[in-house]
Amino acid sequence: MSKFQQIYSVAKQVLRERKYFLALLIFALFFFALFIFIPVAAIPGNSFAFQLSIFRAQDYFLMIFLALLVGLNFSMNIYAWRERRQAADISKSAVSSSAAGFGGAFAAIVGTATCASCLASLFGIVGLGIGSVAFVLKYQTFFLLGAIALVILSLYFTARKIDKICDSC
The mean pLDDT value for 144-151 works out to 84
Question: How many angstroms separate the first and last alpha carbons of the chain?
Answer: 18
| 6 CB neighbour count, 10 Å cutoff | 17
Give the model's pLDDT for residue 59. 82
Q: Which of 55-59, 108-112, 145-149, 161-165 has the least mean pLDDT?
A: 108-112
Domain residue spans of the chain: 3-162
81-117 pLDDT, tens digit per residue, is 888 777 765 555 555 555 655 666 666 665 655 555 5
Q: How far apart are CA 8 and CA 158, in angstroms?
A: 12
Rg of the chain, C-alpha, whole Å: 17
Q: How far apart are CA 110 and CA 55, in angstroms?
A: 16
Output the average pLDDT for the chain.
79
pLDDT over 70 percentage in the chain:
70
Query: Of 151, 149, 113, which is closest to residue 133 (Cα–Cα)?
Result: 113
pLDDT at residue 72 is higher than 90 = yes
pLDDT over 90 percentage in the chain:
24
Q: How far apart are CA 155 and CA 7, in angstroms?
A: 7
Give the model's pLDDT for residue 124. 65
Give the model's pLDDT for residue 15. 95
